[in-house]
Amino acid sequence: MIQPFLKTVPLFRELDDDELAQVLMVGLVKRYPPAAVILTEGSTGGQLHVIHQGQVRISKVVPGVGEEALTILSPGDFFGEVEFFDGSPASAHAIAHTECEILAIPHREVEALMQSRPGLSAKFLWAFGRTLAGRLRETNQRMASLLAISRAF
C-alpha cells in the first residue's frame, strides 16, 4: 500500500521498484495521534520522515510568545532532511496536526543506501535539491512580505 504512494512523492518519484523496495526495507511506518510530538527541536539521531497520511505542523517555540507554526505539511511532504545534510540537531518541532501515518527512515540508513547505490544517490540528491530550493524561494517571499509589512509601521 505504501510503495505505490511513494511513487507519487517527488523525493521517490524517479526510483525504480528495486530502489523503492530498498528504501522500504530500512524504513518503519509509524502512526501518531493528533498533538503527538514526532520530533523535538534540538533532538539528535535523526530520521527522514515522509508523511503518508495526515498533516504535521512544523513549529518553533518563541520566547515570550509560545509555539509559532512555520508550516503545515501534508501527505507526500517530508521533513528531517536538513539534519540529514548538516548532522546538526533538529531545527524545529514536528507535531502531529491531525492523526497521521509517517514513514521514518533513519539518517544512517539513508546515507548507507546512497553510498551503496550511486544511481539512487543521484536521484535522491536532485529531489532533495529541488525541494530545498522551493522551500528557500517560499521563505524568501515570506521574508520580503514581512519586511514590507514592518516598514509600513
State in words which class domain 2-152 has.
mainly beta
Q: What is the mean pLDDT of residues 86-96?
A: 91
pLDDT beyond 80 at 45: no
CB 100 within 8 A of CB 68: no
Question: Is residue 35 very low, low, confident or very high in pLDDT (cuts 50, 70, 90)?
Answer: very high
Greater pLDDT, 34 or 117: 34
Q: What pLDDT band is residue 52 in, cutting at 50, 70 and 90? A: very high
**What sections of 46-117 are H helices per DSSP?**
81-86, 107-116
Q: Average pLDDT in the 92-121 region?
A: 92
- 133-146 mean pLDDT: 85
